[in-house]
Copies of this chain bind each other. A is one copy, B any other.
Amino acid sequence: MAGGQADSSIAGTLELIGDRWTFLILRDAFRGIHRFDELQHDLGIARNLLTDRLHKLVDHGILAKHQYCAHPPRYEYRLTAKGIDLSPALVALKRWGDKHLAGGEPPIVFVHDQCGEPLDQTFVCWHCDQTVTPGGIRSRASR
């Protein structure tokens, strides 16, 4: 992954989601935890910090606010398509932790919904029709 020219895509992404609480809120959203009080309880985060992070994620279109109770008004926060697109990043962070922190024995595994077998995450070259390891990646200017 050698490179030269500056690339703003990672920096830009981290501007939006590059803080630990934000990642953990997103992880919980993928796990089906959508409501303020449930998030607050699961994460043990201060309410003002949770409010701030949720507003930021809604402003950037990563979560969408849905009313689930009218009296009193209550809202939940669900991943948008843009938010769901973050799943490869969260899966990659989990896989690294599984390997390097959990001794290769994670409590949770991601499986293919059709067969229930564990999923792999990989780089693919469709031109060569083969998977590629990190050592086989190079970067170049796109134009």
Measured CB to CB, the residues of A under 8 A from B are 1-16, 18-20, 23-24, 27, 30-32, 82, 84-102, 105-117, 119-128, 131-132, 134-143
Number of copies: 2
Enumerate chain B residues within 8 angstroms of A107, measured Cβ to Cβ.
5-9, 141-143
A69 to chain B, nearest CB (A): 22
Given contacts A96-B85, A115-B125, A120-B124, contact A101 B138 (CB under 8 A): no
Please determine whether A94 and B142 come into contact, CB atoms closer than 8 angstroms: no
- In the complex, what residues of B have CB within 8 A of residue A30's CB? 1-3
Q: Using A128-B114, A140-B109 as known contacts, say yes or no to A89 and B96 having CB atoms under 8 A apart.
A: yes
Which chain B positions have C-beta within 8 A of A15? Answer: 20
